[in-house]
Structure 1
Amino acid sequence: MQKLLTNIVKRAVGFYINAVSHVYPATAAKLAYKFFSEPREGKLAKDRLPDVLQSADAEILTHGEFIFQMYTWKGNDTKILLVHGWESNTSRWEQLLTYLKKSGSTIIAIDAPAHGLSSGTEFNIPRYAEFIHVIIGRHKPQVLIGHSLGGATALYYQSHYPNDVVEKMVILGAPCDLDTILNNYKNMLGLNNKVFSLLQNHFLKHFRISTKDFSGSLFASKIKAKGLLAHDIDDDVVAFTEGKKIAGAWPDAEFVVTKGLGHSLHDDKLYKKIYSFIFGKEAAL
């Protein structure tokens, strides 16, 4: 029943945006982008943080008009940066942290724009990449790990802010093409072709992004760091073909195919693989 009601609401929103587009196209574009970019889940309250986050050193950083939350589990000079995905927050890394801590490394994680304790109501990849750039400049992590849209942001970052600091990248369940994401959004709300074009123009006008050229495979083709990609055949959020496209374009990356893990990709065997990729040895369990 809840799923049915949610679908009805989504279709009602799409119907309204379609109707507005015929009279006020600029307003329709703003509405379509607003529903596309504003997460409905993933925020946290300072007084009700998950235990895994309470065990870290927390710090609020500023970037222009934005503030974003950083967490650090202190260790040695090897540093790992974790970048979560859509409608999530740093706590999603709790299971992987169990493995990474065994290395003695310093582990850093950030909340995305409009997620966790970070400010804002809008998520977009270029801004998230700016947050990453601040952390890379300050702490110089050698390893970058991203899940879902966090993985897509990591690819965008490393191609648009090329550097020799990041030596290895782990990308989990990441989407590849922005146009594919927009098409899925269009179909979910039942938006018409006019609204879809308005959305494409919105990205071009406000972010100087051609959605057809905004592609994880294009970004990956420019990356020199070693990569490990993982994508599940049964992922019902991001199609397996998306991960396959990224893997095919990355010059120095291993593609790990899983089954039955879904989009979350929480799995001991996979985490052991990630540990071995980063440190060149098995985790001491």
Structure 2
Amino acid sequence: MTNLFNFLFAKSIGLYINLMSFVFPKKASQLAYAFFSEPRTGKLSKNNLPKILQESQTETFQHNEHHFQTYTWKGNDTIILLVHGWESNASRWENIMPYLRKSGSTVIAIDAPAHGLSSGKEFSIPKYAEFIHIVVEKFQPQYLIGHSIGGNTCLYYQSVYQNALVKKMVILGAPSDFKILLHNYIALLSLNSKISAALEKHYLDHFKLKLEHFSGQLFASKLDIKGLVAHDVDDTVVSFDEGKKIASTWKNVRFIETSGLGHSLHDDDLYKKVAHFLFEDLTPSDGYRNLSEGDGV
């Protein structure tokens, strides 16, 4: 019943936007973008933070008209930055935290634009990358871990900023082609060609990137750092093929294929492999597959 309601709601919103596009085309495209870029869940309350975040040192950064939140679990000079995905927040890292802190490392997590305790209603990868750059410049992490669209943002960040401080990156369940995400949204709402063209133009005008260039596969091809990409064959949110695309162009990458974990990828065995990758060199016996050695992508 819930799925039917969500389907009908999406189609009714799309019909409203389509009809508006013939009378108020600019307003219709703005509304379409707002629905696409505004997360509906993932916000946090300062007065009711998850326990894992209560255990951290919090810091709020101001950037232009926005502020964003970070959480730090103090350790040694090895620093890891965690970058969550769409409609989530920094608390999503609770399950992996014991494996990272066991090394004695300092761990920092960030709330994305319009998520957690960060301000705003609009999420975008370039804005998220700006937040990440401020954190990287201040805390100088050697390692980045990103989940879902946070993983795509990590790839975008490093390809654009080419920060020499970052030595390794872990990408979990991330989409590659932003164009697919946008077109899935357009199909979900059955938006007409006028709105579709307006949305593509918005990204070109605001972010100076054609949609076909807004690609994790392309970003990864520009990286020289070591990478680990993990994706689940049963991921119903982001296709398994998206993870393979990212790994296929990364010069120095290891690829882990999992099964039965879905999009969240919460798994003790996987997290052990992530920690091993960060703090030691992986070997084939650890369960990774190197795409340059016969994976056919």
For normalisation by structure 1, the TM-score amounts to: 0.97
Query: What is aligned with 2:80?
Result: 80
In the alignment, which residue of structure 1 is the partner of 2:170? 170
Residue correspondence of structure 1 range 225-240 to structure 2 within 5 A: 225-240=225-240
CA distance in 2, matches of 1:103, 1:139: 18
Aligned pair 1:217/2:242, yes or no? no
Identical aligned residues as a percent: 59
Matched, 1:146 2:143: no
- Given residue 46 of structure 2, which amino acid in structure 1 is its aligned partner? K
Distance, in Å, in 2 between the alignment partners of 1:175 and 1:97 is 23
Structure 2: gaps spanning 5 or more residues: 283-297
Q: Deviations over 1:91-127 (max 9, x none)?
A: 0000000111100000001000000000000000000
Query: Is the contact made by 1:66 and 1:119 (CA closer than 8 Å) also made in structure 2?
Result: yes
Q: Secondary structure at the match of 2:117?
A: coil
Deviations 1:176-227 (A, max 9, x none): 1111011110111111222111100111122222112111111000011100
Shift of 1:23: 2.3
Q: Which residue of 1 is the match for residue 194 of structure 2?
A: 194
The 5 A counterparts of 1:35-114 are: 35-114=35-114
- 8 A contact 1:74–1:105 mirrored in 2: yes
Superimposed CA distance per residue, residues 36-69 of structure 1 (whole angstroms, 9 cap, x where no aligned partner): 0000000001111000000000111111111000
1:26 CA displacement? 1.3
Matches within 5 A, 1:8-27: 8-27=8-27
Aligned-partner Cα distance in 2 for 1:197–1:178: 15
8 A Cα contact 1:146 1:152, kept in partner: yes
SS of alignment partner, residue 70 of structure 1: strand
Distance in 2 of aligned mates of 1:188 and 1:52: 35
Matched, 1:272 2:264: no
What's the secondary structure of 2:102's corresponding residue? helix
Task: Letter of the 1:147 partner, please give it.
Answer: H
Write the letter of the residue equivalent to 2:257: V
Corresponding position of 1:248: 248
Does the aligned pair in 2 maintain the 1:275–1:281 contact within 8 Å?
A: no
Helix, strand or coil: the match of 1:228? strand
Runs of 4+ with >3 A deviation = none
The 2-side partners of 1:64 and 1:191 are apart by 33
Contiguous gaps of at least 5 residues in structure 1: none
Q: Please give the secondary structure, in 1, of the residue aligned with 2:114.
A: coil
Taking the aligned partners of 1:19 and 1:255, their CA distance within structure 2 comes to 45
Residue 185 of structure 2 corresponds to 185
Q: What is the CA–CA distance in structure 2 between the aligned matches of 1:225 and 1:201, rounded to whole Å? A: 33
User: Cα deviations across residues 200-257 of structure 1 (Å, max 9, x unaligned)?
Assistant: 0111122222112111111000011100000111111011111111000111001111
- Does 273-282 or 263-272 show the bigger shift? 273-282
The secondary structure found in structure 2 opposite 1:117 is coil
The answer as to whether partners of 1:76 and 1:105 remain within 8 angstroms in 2 is: yes
- Range that drifts further, 178-187 or 150-159: 178-187
Q: Is the 8 A contact 1:261 1:267 kept in 2?
A: yes
Deviation per residue, 1:125-170 (Å, 9 max, x gap):
0000000000110011000000000000000000000021000000
Aligned residue pair count: 282
The Cα of 1:6 is off from its aligned counterpart by 1.4
